Chains A and B, each alone.
Chain A
C-alpha cells in the first residue's frame, strides 16, 4: 500500500505530478507496452518525412506490385509507390487530425457536461435532449453529409470529428459532475456566494478532470478508427496524401496476390489503436479510476 506517500505527500508542481503519473503507468506491463507503442508512433510521425526512403507520390508503372525486397522493404502498391514510405507517413495525418479532434471533443463536451450538471433544471433537460437526438443519428452518415458539403480538408475534418465524438463526453462529464455536485463543499461554496464560474473552475474541474481526461483518451482511439473508416470509404483525406484507411481501401482488392500492400497499413493502424487503448487504461489506473471495477469480495 501507499502508506509512506499518504503520510508524507506535499503539494507538487504540475510537472512533478505528470512525471509521477507516467512512472506509475509504466510500472505496469500493459501500461509500459501501451506507452512504448504510442511514443514510437508519435516519434515516427515527427521524423518520418526525413527518414522516408522514397517519394510517397512517385508513380512508376514498371514497379507495380513488387514483393518486399531490399530496396522496397514492404513492397510496392498497384501504382508502384513504396509501401514502407507511405505506411510511416500514413500515421502522421491520422494522428494529427484525431489528436486535435479529441482536444476539441474534450473541451466542448467536458465544459458543456459540467455546465449542464451544475445548473440542472430546464436548461439541462433541453441540452441533454439535443445531445440525445444527435446520439441517435448515425455519425458516419452525418459525417458524409458534412464532408460532401464542405470538402475533406483538415479544417473541416477536425471540428466535425471533434463535434461527433464530444457528445459522449458530455454525458460522462455531466455524470461525474453530478457525483461531485451533491457534496457539501459545493453547497458550502454556494452558500458563501461564489459565482457559477468560480465553482466550476475551483471546485468541480479538479474533481472531474481525471474522469474526463480518461474518457477523452479512450475517444481518441475510437476517433482514429472512425477517421480511418472515413478514409476507407473515400471521404477522409484525399489522394495522393498517404493515409492508412485509404491504403487499405486501395489494396484490399489485390489482397490475394499482393498481401504486403494491405498488411503494413493494417498493422500500423491497429498497433496505434491498441497503444492508445492500453495507455488510456494505464492512465486511468494511475489516476485511481479503475475502469473494470469489481464488487468488493
Chain B
C-alpha cells in the first residue's frame, strides 16, 4: 500500500446557509491517487471537481469548511495541518498548475526571475545551480531558446508559452503530485494538443502523479489513466479511462459522451435534458434522478451507494448500471440536420478588408484608413438564404472581427457588404437605418456578459420588441411569453434575473432576444463555448429547431471543429484574416484540404483513447500576417518553395466544389501527410 500517494477519505466540504443548514459541496468522497498515475476528474461546472482538487493540497476555499473526512498525503492529514507546515509541502511535494497562466504569472517580473523564486523557495540549490536548473526546466517544457525566454516578461509570450512556463514553475520543486485545474481550457485547439502532449511526456519522464481536472472529456481522454466522474458533489463513476470512455456504465457519463459532437459524425448529437441540481436542493434519492433515462421509483426514494465492481475494476453509483453494462457507447444517435437552403443570396461580402491600425492624422482628416497589411483582407463570401455557414480558425484568425463588421460594429477598410442581392449595408453603424440593424442580430459567447445583470428576463427580451416594433402593454407581454416558450423556457422566467438562471438558461434568453427582432441573419459568436457539454448539445439543437421554424440564416463562429461539423452546411477556414478554404462541411472535413485545415483537424481532441491528436505544425503564434505570399507560410509543413513566400496562392476547386487557396496542386494535397 505504499504506492498510494494521496488518500482522500470520507471527505465532505460545504457551507452553512443563512438558515443554518449545512449545504454540502462535496459529499463523502473517498479515492486514492497512486504513484505515477494520472487521474482525470471530470464534471460540469458546480460538480465540486475543483474543490476536490484544492482539498488535495490542503486548501479549502474561503466561505467553505471541512465538515468531515481527511486528505492524507504521505499519511499526513493536510486539512488539519497548520499553514506553516503546509508551506513546506505545497510547491515542494504538491504543485498546482492554474487554468489561466497569464493571470497566474506576475506581469512585471521576468520569466527567469519567477522560476528562480520558485526554486529558491522549493529547493536547496545555490545560485549557480539554480541558473542551470532554470534553462533545464525551460528546455523540459520545450520552450524555444530558454536563455532568451528567461529574460522576457509574461506578456511577451503567447498563451501556450505562458502555460508552459507555469508547468516549468510547478516542476521547480520536483513535486510528487501535480494538480492541474483546467490547464488547457483557455487555449487554442492546436496549442491545447501540444500542451497535453507535453504533460503526457512529463508524466512519463518524471514519474509524477497528476490530477487533471477538466470539463472536457476529450482532454481527459488524452492524459489520464483513470477517470473520476463527478456529479453534484459525488463520485458517480470511477475506473480505468479506457473502460469509462468505451463503456460508460453510469447513465450520466453515458449521456455526456453521447452529447459531445464528434468529428466523424455529421449532424447534431443527442442532448441531455435538464441541468445539474443546485447544492442543497436534493433531499432524497439519486441526484441524477430527474435527468436519467433509466430511472425508476427506487431511484427517487433511495440514494445509491458507490459500488465497486470487481470484474470491471470500476466503481459506480447507480442502481440500474446493469442495463448499461451490455450497451456499447457507439450507439450514438444523431439528429440529421435538414436545411432548406435556397439559391437566393442573402448576404455577400466582397473584397472585405478590416484594419485595426491606428489612423494617422492625415487619414483621420480625410476619413480613410490606410494600411497595406490589414488584419483581415480579401474576404469574399456568398451566403445563401437559410444556410448555416461557419467561420473557423484559431484566436487571432479574424473570425470575430468579420462578424463585428457584418453587424456594423467595426468599420471596414475596403469592400462591400451586400444584403439581399441589392442593398448595400454601410460599414458604419450610424449610417444604417433601423431595419438594416434589425435584420442582423448577434448572439454572444458568454451569456453572463451579454445579459444586463440588473434587468429581468422580461426587460431583456422586451428591448428589441420595443425598439423595432414599438410594442407595449399586453401585446408586449404576450410576445415575450411566446418567445420564451419558443426557446423552451416558461412564463415563469419573466421575473427572474440572469444570476438566478443556469448557463444554458441564460443562453436561451440571449437566443430569445436575438429572435425577438425577427432577423434574417443571426451571427453566433462562439455561442456554446462557455457552456457545459451536456448543455451545449441542447442549445445547438434549439438553434437548429428555431432555424427550421423561421428560415433564419446563421453565421457561426467557432474554434471547435466538432461543433462546427455538427451544425453547419458550409465552412470557411481562416488564418490570419485570410481565407484558406471554403466549402461544404462534408468536403472540408475530408481530404484534400488546405494544410492549415489539416493542422486544425489533427489537433481536435476526441473523448476516445484510441484517437490521438496528430500534431503537424508547431504552435507558434504569429503576430501579424506576412506582407507577401501565402498567409500560412510561417507554420506550413508542406511549404514547396519560394513561391509560397512571394505570391498569394490561387483558389483551386475540387470536384465537390470545395475551394482551397494553396500553391500545392489538388492532386498533391490529396495525399495524406501521415
Contacts of B23 in A (CB 8 A): 1, 3
20 new A-B contacts at CB < 8 Å, known A9-B496, A191-B408, A206-B455: A1-B17, A1-B63, A5-B18, A11-B497, A184-B444, A185-B450, A185-B451, A187-B444, A188-B444, A188-B450, A188-B513, A191-B407, A191-B437, A192-B438, A192-B467, A193-B432, A193-B438, A202-B452, A296-B62, A297-B62
Q: Give per-residue flags for A171-191: 1 if the beta carbon is below 8 A from chain B beta carbons, else 0.
A: 000000000000111011111
The answer to whether the Cβ of B463 comes within 8 Å of any Cβ in the partner chain is yes
Task: Please list 12 pairs of residues, one from A and one from B, whose beta carbons are closer than 8 Å in the complex, sorted by A's number.
Answer: A1-B16, A1-B17, A1-B18, A10-B496, A185-B449, A191-B408, A191-B429, A191-B441, A193-B429, A193-B438, A193-B467, A194-B463
The answer to whether the Cβ of B442 comes within 8 Å of any Cβ in the partner chain is yes
CB–CB A187/B517 < 8 A: no
The answer to whether the Cβ of A257 comes within 8 Å of any Cβ in the partner chain is no
Given known contacts A1-B63, A7-B500, A11-B495, A189 and B463 CB-to-CB distance under 8 angstroms: yes
The answer to whether the Cβ of B282 comes within 8 Å of any Cβ in the partner chain is no
CB–CB A187/B452 < 8 A: no
CB nearest neighbor in B for A207: B454
Given known contacts A1-B18, A6-B499, A203-B452, A194 and B467 CB-to-CB distance under 8 angstroms: yes
CB–CB B452/A207 < 8 A: yes
Complex A-B, nearest 6 residue pairs according to Cβ-Cβ distance, in ascending order: A206-B454, A184-B450, A193-B437, A184-B444, A184-B449, A3-B17
Q: Give per-residue flags for B9-20: 1 if the beta carbon is below 8 A from chain A beta carbons, else 0.
A: 000000111110
Which residues of A183-225 have CB atoms within 8 Å of chain B's CB atoms?
Answer: 183-185, 187-194, 202-203, 206-207
CB–CB B450/A190 < 8 A: no
CB–CB B517/A192 < 8 A: yes
The answer to whether the Cβ of A4 comes within 8 Å of any Cβ in the partner chain is yes
CB–CB B278/A7 < 8 A: yes
The answer to whether the Cβ of B453 comes within 8 Å of any Cβ in the partner chain is yes
The answer to whether the Cβ of A2 comes within 8 Å of any Cβ in the partner chain is yes
CB nearest neighbor in A for B15: A1
CB nearest neighbor in A for B447: A184
The answer to whether the Cβ of B280 comes within 8 Å of any Cβ in the partner chain is yes
CB nearest neighbor in A for B440: A191
The answer to whether the Cβ of B274 comes within 8 Å of any Cβ in the partner chain is no
CB–CB A185/B62 < 8 A: no
CB–CB A2/B500 < 8 A: no
The answer to whether the Cβ of B456 comes within 8 Å of any Cβ in the partner chain is yes
CB–CB A6/B500 < 8 A: yes
CB–CB B452/A3 < 8 A: no
Q: Which residues of B approach A to under 8 Å, CB–CB?
A: 15-19, 23, 61-63, 278-281, 407-409, 429, 432, 434, 437-438, 440-442, 444-446, 449-456, 463-464, 467-468, 495-497, 499-500, 513, 517
CB–CB A2/B18 < 8 A: yes
CA distance A1 to B429 in the complex (A): 44
Determine which of B19, B464, B495 lies in contact with A192 in the assembled complex, contact meaning CB atoms within 8 Å.
B464
CA distance A5 to B18 in the complex (A): 9
**Consensus secondary structure, chain A interface:** helix
- Give the one of B407, B432, B449, B495 with max A CB within 10 A: B449
Contacts of B61 in A (CB 8 A): 296
Given known contacts A7-B500, A193-B429, A206-B455, A187 and B409 CB-to-CB distance under 8 angstroms: yes
CB–CB B437/A202 < 8 A: no
CB nearest neighbor in B for A185: B452
CB nearest neighbor in B for A210: B454
Given known contacts A3-B17, A184-B449, A191 and B409 CB-to-CB distance under 8 angstroms: yes
- Give the one of A1, A188, A207, A297 with max B CB within 10 A: A188
CB–CB B280/A3 < 8 A: yes
Which residues of A141-197 have CB atoms within 8 Å of chain B's CB atoms?
Answer: 183-185, 187-194
CB nearest neighbor in A for B278: A7
Contacts of A189 in B (CB 8 A): 463
Contacts of A194 in B (CB 8 A): 463, 467
CB nearest neighbor in A for B510: A188
CA distance A193 to B450 in the complex (A): 16
B511 to chain A, nearest CB (A): 12
B1 to chain A, nearest CB (A): 35
A133 to chain B, nearest CB (A): 25
CA distance A185 to B63 in the complex (A): 30
CB nearest neighbor in B for A296: B62
CA distance A184 to B18 in the complex (A): 33
Determine which of B432, B450, B456 lies in contact with A11 in the assembled complex, contact meaning CB atoms within 8 Å.
B456
Given known contacts A3-B280, A187-B409, A9 and B454 CB-to-CB distance under 8 angstroms: no
Contacts of B437 in A (CB 8 A): 191-193
Q: Give per-residue flags for A119-159: 1 if the beta carbon is below 8 A from chain B beta carbons, else 0.
A: 00000000000000000000000000000000000000000
CB nearest neighbor in A for B19: A4
- Give the one of A3, A189, A296 with max B CB within 10 A: A3
Determine which of A9, A190, A203 lies in contact with B429 in the assembled complex, contact meaning CB atoms within 8 Å.
A190
CB–CB B446/A184 < 8 A: yes
CA distance A88 to B438 in the complex (A): 62
CA distance A111 to B415 in the complex (A): 39
CB–CB A3/B18 < 8 A: yes
Contacts of B450 in A (CB 8 A): 183-185, 187-188
B48 to chain A, nearest CB (A): 15
A285 to chain B, nearest CB (A): 15
A34 to chain B, nearest CB (A): 23
CB–CB A193/B18 < 8 A: no
B104 to chain A, nearest CB (A): 13
CA distance A6 to B46 in the complex (A): 15
Contacts of A5 in B (CB 8 A): 18
CB–CB B453/A207 < 8 A: yes
CA distance A6 to B409 in the complex (A): 35
B503 to chain A, nearest CB (A): 14
- Give the one of B281, B434, B452, B517 with max A CB within 10 A: B452
CA distance A185 to B453 in the complex (A): 9
CB–CB A202/B18 < 8 A: no
Contacts of A183 in B (CB 8 A): 449-450
CA distance A2 to B15 in the complex (A): 11
Q: Give per-residue flags for A82-119: 1 if the beta carbon is below 8 A from chain B beta carbons, else 0.
A: 00000000000000000000000000000000000000
Contacts of A7 in B (CB 8 A): 278, 281, 500
Contacts of A184 in B (CB 8 A): 444-446, 449-450
CB–CB B280/A10 < 8 A: no
